[in-house]
């Protein structure tokens, strides 16, 4: 993994501290061209990895990248799935089976519906595969070396103690997509021993890690202990505490946090991208330094 990853919250109106700022960002990035402009800025500043949800607009971004392969020859995607709001909205508008019909890949409508019923009533893993295949369609032909489970699903599986699903997800994305599995969580201290029990070795995990303990379940010290006692490749997100911590202070603190190997951040201007990149480089060195 690269040291620095670029996230997409700013593009889709996600801000955990300010609804007004989220609304302004949603209006600013109302079309794919405005998103591509910022991605180009990040790419030209040496940031090659885009950690993104599977929002519908990402499909337009993927189309643009495929149409300009020379320009984006080193561009890497880390898809994060499922995009829960998309499915929730669709279910509320057209119903469960119509949603599965819309997003599932391959086969006839009746086959999809029969498979969905079986998945819902008997086999969580079958449903997982169905959704992964649906979400990965938009990334066809693009580099996706890591595929993440979003925290809403990771933490639900944790709570339900569906430990085996983590291992089966890992096997599936490796076999079908040649990718490593990644897991986003709001409860790193619980996730790491669970992944160990599921025999997911040296997992890639992404969690909030910041100086004020913002959305760090169990607190900062429990995260320190988890990273000290479990081998993993940890990605820190929300390092600015959703804007509550000054960038220089936040970056210095998280770069010194034992066990953190990469940082994902979002920004909407070239100036902020450059500043964050440079702050991280002060403490860690080259952006493309491989984390093992």
How confident is the model over 181-200, as pLDDT tens digits? 999 999 999 999 999 999 99
Give the mean pLDDT of 242-262. 96
C-beta pairs of 191-197 under 8 Å, 24+ apart in sequence: 191/154, 191/158, 192/226, 192/227, 192/229, 192/230, 192/232, 193/230, 194/158, 194/163, 194/166, 195/166, 195/232, 196/230, 197/163
Coil vs helix vs strand at 240? coil
CB atoms within 10 A of CB 40: 13
How many C-alpha atoms does 25 have within 13 Å on its Cβ side?
20
Bigger pLDDT: 26 or 130? 130
3-state class (DSSP) for residue 268: coil
pLDDT at 146 over 90: yes
Run of H or E including 23: helix 19-28
Q: Please state, in angstroms and rounded to a whole number, the distance separating the CA atoms of residues 26 and 266.
A: 14
HSE toward the beta carbon, residue 215, CA cutoff 13 A: 17
Residue 121 in any domain: the answer is: no
Does one domain contain both 227 and 181?
yes
Residue in this structure with the two tokens 């080193």, named with its chain if needed: 74
Residues 148 and 241 in one domain: yes
Residue 43 clears pLDDT 50, i.e. is over it:
yes
Do 25 and 56 lie in a common domain? yes
Kindly indicate the confidence band of residue 16, based on its pLDDT and cuts at 50, 70 and 90: low
Q: Give yes or no for a contact between 222 and 186, defined as CB atoms under 8 angstroms apart.
A: no
Residue at 186 is within a domain? yes
What pLDDT does 99 receive?
52
Are 234 and 272 part of one and the same domain? no
pLDDT computed for residue 292 by the predictor: 53
Please check whether residue 211 lies inside any domain of the structure.
yes
Instruction: Quote the tokens at residue 38.
Output: 């910022």
Question: pLDDT tens for residues 86-116?
Answer: 554 544 455 545 655 565 554 434 444 445 4
User: Would you say residue 84 has pLDDT above 70?
Assistant: no
* 105 contacts 133 by C-beta, under 8 angstroms: yes
User: 278 and 202, same structural domain?
Assistant: no
pTM of the model: 0.86
> Is there a domain that residue 17 lies in?
yes
pLDDT at 85: 55
- β-bridge partners, 50: 6, 77
59 domain-assigned: yes
Domain that includes residue 183, residue range: 144-258
Does residue 174 sit in the same domain as residue 202? yes
Whether 247 and 271 share a structural domain: no
Q: Is 184 helix (H, G, I), strand (E, B) or coil?
A: strand
Q: Are residues 269 and 190 in the same domain?
A: no
Domain membership flag for residue 107: no
Mean pLDDT value across residues 3-24: 76
Give me 287's structure tokens: 């952006």
Q: Please tell me whether residue 160 adopts helix, strand or coil conformation.
A: helix
**Phi, then psi, of 209 in degrees rounded to 5:** -140, 110
Residues 152 and 244 in one domain: yes
The predicted structure's pLDDT at residue 114: 46
Which one-letter DSSP state was computed for residue 30? -
Question: Would you say how long the chain is, in residues?
Answer: 292
- Mark whether 153 and 197 lie in a shared domain: yes
223 with 292, same domain: the answer is no
Does 104 reside within a domain?
no
Q: For the chain, what percent of residues have pLDDT higher than 70? A: 79
Q: How far is Cα 157 from Cα 284, in angstroms, rounded to an integer?
A: 34
Asked if residue 121 has pLDDT above 70, the reply is no
Co-location of 188 and 283 in the same domain: no
CB 275 within 8 A of CB 250: no
In this prediction, residue 131 carries a pLDDT of 86
> For residue 110, is it within any domain?
no
Instruction: Please give the tally of structural domains in the chain.
Output: 2
Indicate the range of 3-7, 11-15, 133-137, 222-226 predicted with least confidence: 11-15
Average pLDDT over residues 145-163: 93
14 has a pLDDT exceeding 80 = no
């Amino acid at each position: 993994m690269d040291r620095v990853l670029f996230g997409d919250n700013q593009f889709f109106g996600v801000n955990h501290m300010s609804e007004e700022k989220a609304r302004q960002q949603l209006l600013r990035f109302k079309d794919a061209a405005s998103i591509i402009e910022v991605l180009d800025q990040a790419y030209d500043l040496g940031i090659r990895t885009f950690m993104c949800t599977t929002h519908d607009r990402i499909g337009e971004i993927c189309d643009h990248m495929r149409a300009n392969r020379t320009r984006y020859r080193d561009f890497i995607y880390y898809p994060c799935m499922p995009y829960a709001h998309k499915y929730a909205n669709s279910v509320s508008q057209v119903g469960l089976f119509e949603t599965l019909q819309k997003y599932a890949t391959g086969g006839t409508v009746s086959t999809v519906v029969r498979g969905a019923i079986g998945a819902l009533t008997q086999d969580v893993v079958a449903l997982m595969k169905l959704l992964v295949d649906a979400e990965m369609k938009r990334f066809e032909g693009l580099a996706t070396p890591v595929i993440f489970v979003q925290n809403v699903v990771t933490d639900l599986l944790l709570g339900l103690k569906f430990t085996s699903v983590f291992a089966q997800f890992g096997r599936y994305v490796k076999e079908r997509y040649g990718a490593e599995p990644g897991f986003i969580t709001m409860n790193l201290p619980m996730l790491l021993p669970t992944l160990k029990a599921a025999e997911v070795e040296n997992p890639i995990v992404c969690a909030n890690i910041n100086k004020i303990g913002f959305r760090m379940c169990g607190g900062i010290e429990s995260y320190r202990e988890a990273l000290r006692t479990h081998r993993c490749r940890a990605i820190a997100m929300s390092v600015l505490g959703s804007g509550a911590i000054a960038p220089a202070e936040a970056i210095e603190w998280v770069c010194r946090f034992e066990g953190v190997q990469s940082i994902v951040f979002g920004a909407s201007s070239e100036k902020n991208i450059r500043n964050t990149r440079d702050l991280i480089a002060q403490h860690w060195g080259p952006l493309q330094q491989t984390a093992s």
